[in-house]
Amino acid sequence: MANFKDRLRELIKEKNKTQKDVAKEIAECSNIELSPQTLSYYVNGREPNYELLKTLAKYFDVSVDYLIGYSDAKKAENEKIISDLGINDDAIRIIQSLRTQSVSITDPESYVLKNDERQLLDVFNAFVSDNYFMAFLTALKISTHPTVDDIIPNNSPFQLKTTYTNISKAETYAFINDKILKTILDNVIDSIKDNIKLNSKQ
């Protein structure tokens, strides 16, 4: 579990600002006088009082529990979701944003998606619910790992058996990325299309 000084360092880094800038902004938006030197004391382990904790939490837009390392949820309302599902605040924020985003058209002259009224959340749900989704995640995990011991588990709907003797890491990555991920993604797309056609007939 992270502690206060670790969380403070992390949040300052996420702001992409110097400690001097952060201290100045906090002092300007609150009744607390906070010099860069004083802030550095807290970054290096000094324990803050509750008033400062509340001010820092408001400035960084996180809960006090997250700031002191008691919770992994930046937002208090995300606590149960993170506890139950193990996803992080950024994943929750992105999923929530999908509810208001429609499938977009990159080419204004294109009529391919013109009549597509689905939200991106609909596409996301179809993707995650598809039988090939776990196989896709497994292949993606392997393709982003420096070593390859196994391609796809035996219980996966997509299986590939091969030997990697005398194949470099670069060649291994290229093989996985080009072959496995593409094949699984094609299967996901075909499966979602089939489900759309099936639902449209009902």
Q: Give the Cα-Cα-Cα angle 2, 79, 145 (nearest 5 degrees).
A: 60
Q: How confident is the model at residue 115 (pLDDT cuts 50, 70, 90)?
A: low
Q: Which of 54-63, 89-98, 139-148, 154-163 has the weakest average pLDDT?
A: 154-163
Residue 13: is its pLDDT beyond 90?
Answer: yes
CATH architecture label of 4-69: Orthogonal Bundle (1.10)
pLDDT at 61: 92
**What mean pLDDT do residues 53-75 have?**
92
Residue 10: is its pLDDT beyond 80?
Answer: yes
pLDDT in tens, 169-185: 555 556 656 677 778 77
**What mean pLDDT do residues 5-9 have?**
94
Number of neighbouring beta carbons within 10 Å of residue 155: 8
**What mean pLDDT do residues 38-65 have?**
93
pLDDT at 136: 80
pLDDT at 150: 47
Mean pLDDT of all residues belonging to the chain: 77
Q: Helix or strand or coil: residue 94?
A: helix
Q: Give the pTM.
A: 0.60
What are the extents of the domains in the chain? 4-69, 131-201
Residue 1: is its pLDDT beyond 90?
Answer: no
Tokens of 62: 């996180």
Give which of 150, 124, 146 is closest to 138, Cα–Cα. Answer: 150
pLDDT at 20: 92
- DSSP letter string, 173-185: HHHIIIIIIHHHH
Q: Is the dihedral of CA 199, 200, 201, 202 positive or negative?
A: positive
**What mean pLDDT do residues 41-61 have?**
93
Give which of 34, 82, 79 is closest to 59, Cα–Cα. Answer: 34
**What mean pLDDT do residues 89-97 have?**
88
